[in-house]
Structures are given as structure tokens and as C-alpha cells.
Amino acid sequence: MALSFAHYLLQNNYKQEQITILSLYSSQALEIVKLANKKDNWEMPLDNVRITTVDNYQGEENDIIIISVVRSNRDNVIGFLKSANRINVALSRARNGLYIFGNADCLAHAAKKS
């Protein structure tokens, strides 16, 4: 979904350099990169869309930030998002637009527990 949304933004005149996709886990970021580079998946490559982890994005910002949150479980455990530092980095890097893709119920329940 994050990659499809990035393509949607490109079709609406945003530049690749204006978009960053963040994930909480390095293996997830690698999977997103792999999917982004699959030529038969997309009509245009995402060569200049930055795809990285939240931990590797501290001190940086971009116009559009897309966050991919993969946690989804019955116990509503959110893993790395429990860290206030990670939440701060993830939510404060966008200049113009912040979009979060994930399980809203899991995130909402975890927020209530805090």
C-alpha cells in the first residue's frame, strides 16, 4: 500500500525526491525496496524515493513521509513503536504530508494502554 500510494503521489506531480517511506524494521525496509525495484510491478521505477528505517532517519525530513507499520496481533503489541524516541522521529519528519499505513485498531489499543 505504501508503494502504491507513493506512485499515486508521483502521478499527481510530486517528485520522487520529495517522498520518503519509513518502516520500523530493517527487514521490512528491505522488502519494500525489493518490491519497489521489481520492474513488472510499476509503470515507473522508484529510484529516488528514499526507503529506510525510522532509526536511520533521525535528523532528516522530507515533504512527504509515508510510514509503514506492520504490527497486527490480537494482543495489540506494537513492538518498536513503544519507544517515545521512535514515535517522535516517525511523526516529526514530514514538512507537508504524513501518511501512516497499518493496523489502526492495534495502534489505537496500544495508545490507550500508554
pLDDT digits (tens, 9 = 90+) for 25-76: 888 899 999 999 887 767 777 889 999 998 898 889 999 999 988 655 566 5
What average pLDDT does the structure give for the chain?
A: 81
Taking the CB of residue 92, how many other CB atoms lie within 10 A of it? Answer: 10
Pick the CATH number of 2-113 from 3.40.50.300, 1.10.3720.10, 3.40.190.10, 3.40.1370.10: 3.40.50.300
Block residue for cell numbers 501518511: 99
The string over 94-113, giving b where at least 16 C-beta atoms fall within 10 Å of a residue's C-beta and e elsewhere, is beeeebebbbeebbeebeee
For residue 51, the surrounding DSSP H or E stretch is: strand 50-53
pTM over cut 0.85: no
Q: Which residues pair with 99 in a beta bridge?
A: 66
